[in-house]
Structure 1
Amino acid sequence: MTRALVVIDVQESFRARPLWETISNPKIAHQVDRLVRLARQAGDTVVWVLHSEPGSGDVFDPALGHVRLLEELRREEGEPLVHKTSHNAFTTTNLQQLLTERGIRELVVCGIRTEQCVETTTRVASDLGYQVTFVTDATATNPIAHRDAPAGQSVADLLSDPRTLSADEVIRRTEYALAGRFATIATVDELGAAAGSRA
């Protein structure tokens, strides 16, 4: 097949942060697993991406043990795993080479965070010539603090600040920014229905 599913940063690092309590989709692993099963059934490549910040001393530092897939997910033997240190999955990895070697021209993307690493990867992929499907309900994010909010504010302060952008609003804006420009927006159910019609 010439299609790949790219699973971006669905990792324990996020669950180890206090901000996880605000995550838009706490059951994201279930949606991602559905996509992974669809991809495997179709014979598509599944690529796993993890974000890593060696030496940072935070939840993205591999030395602390959180840079691993959410425990509900299972990577099968032979499925590529790449570690990135930038927001997009291309710049600091061999992802493009990996996809080129397999003749892949179409990507389905999902992961954490919707507007950050998943959206950035989508934009770069589009610029590189890939046809991209952005699976919104298999992404997750958190509310975003206003640019003038104090650094290091608590979750309670983030949620009580009227200037905070809600996770739902972040996702909606991401869909608007990507649709028709960088990607096709889809849901897991829509892709499942399309796979059923191809069977």
Structure 2
Amino acid sequence: MTKALIVIDVQESFRTRAEWADNSNPGLIGQVNRLVDLTRAENGLVVWVLHSEPGSGGPFDPASGHVRLIDGLSPAEGEPVLTKTAHNAFTTTNLQQTLTVRGVQEVLISGIRTEQCCETTARVGSDLGFGVTFVTDATATTPLRHWRTGAVMSTNDIIERTESVLAGRFASIATVDELTGSILTGS
């Protein structure tokens, strides 16, 4: 096994927030499931990651009941489900060890927030020596308000920025169609 799909923070916590109505990818669950099917068909590893903020009293506090995968996602037997407390999926989990022990050399990145936990995981994964493919249309984000000026960055601008800073530096950029087409054509 040399490939793994990392599904980051696709959890109910986000759906409790008002801004979720403006998320960039209403079809996220379908796109993630296509990648899950592809990864399993290629005998790759699917790793599920949840974000937790114990004691915060918010939607990421495990006591809220929202720190669970969004309905429609389902780990298969033996697929790791890790819980992190940092932005990237490596620092506060055993993700690196899990991947290394299984011989994983390449990772596909999907999940929620394109520019935050997904981008940060891609950067750290690259720094750790993994080949990284960032599957943008299997990520989602919401508009961001600048902390000082109040200007709002659109989801399209966030996605474009994320792809720009990752491509050729930390990751290759791909779409679900590009990846699923490669298994069908054998390329």
TM superposition score normalised by structure 1: 0.92
Output the CA distance in 2 between the equivalents of 1:9 and 1:132.
Answer: 18
Asked if 1:183 is matched to 2:171, the reply is yes
User: AA paired with 2:6?
Assistant: V
Output the CA distance in 1 between the equivalents of 2:58 and 2:147.
Answer: 22
Output the CA distance in 1 between the equivalents of 2:72 and 2:148.
Answer: 37
User: AA paired with 1:38?
Assistant: L
Matches within 5 A, 1:50-69: 50-69=50-69
Match of 2:122 in 1: 122
Instruction: Give the aligned CA root-mean-square deviation in angstroms.
Output: 1.0
Asked if 1:88 is matched to 2:88, the reply is yes
After superposition, the C-alpha distances for 1:127-153 in whole angstroms (9 at most, x for unaligned) are: 00000000000000010101225xxxx
Report how far residue 27 of structure 1 moved: 2.0
Match of 1:22 in 2: 22
The structure that has the greater radius of gyration is 1
Matches within 5 A, 1:137-176: 137-148=137-148, 163-176=151-164
3-state SS in 1 of match to 2:58: coil
Match of 1:194 in 2: 182
Aligned length: 187
Match of 1:152 in 2: none
Report how far residue 188 of structure 1 moved: 0.2
TM superposition score normalised by structure 2: 0.98
Output the CA distance in 1 between the equivalents of 2:184 and 2:81.
Answer: 28
3-state SS in 2 of match to 1:195: helix
User: AA paired with 1:54?
Assistant: P
Match of 1:153 in 2: none
3-state SS in 2 of match to 1:196: helix
Q: Write out the 4+ residue segments of structure 1 that deviate beyond 4 Å after TM superposition.
A: none
3-state SS in 2 of match to 1:66: coil
Could you tell me which runs of 5 or more consecutive residues in structure 1 were left unpaired when the two chains were aligned.
150-160
Asked if 1:106 is matched to 2:106, the reply is yes
3-state SS in 2 of match to 1:148: coil
Output the CA distance in 2 between the equivalents of 1:172 and 1:140.
Answer: 13
Output the CA distance in 2 between the equivalents of 1:127 and 1:148.
Answer: 31
User: AA paired with 1:192?
Assistant: T
User: AA paired with 2:40?
Assistant: R
Output the CA distance in 2 between the equivalents of 1:105 and 1:24.
Answer: 29
3-state SS in 2 of match to 1:30: helix
User: AA paired with 2:118?
Assistant: V
Output the CA distance in 2 between the equivalents of 1:182 and 1:73.
Answer: 27
After superposition, the C-alpha distances for 1:114-133 in whole angstroms (9 at most, x for unaligned) are: 00000000000000000000
Could you tell me which runs of 5 or more consecutive residues in structure 2 were left unpaired when the two chains were aligned.
none
User: AA paired with 2:162?
Assistant: T
Report how far residue 197 of structure 1 moved: 2.0
Query: Identity of aligned pairs, percent?
Result: 61
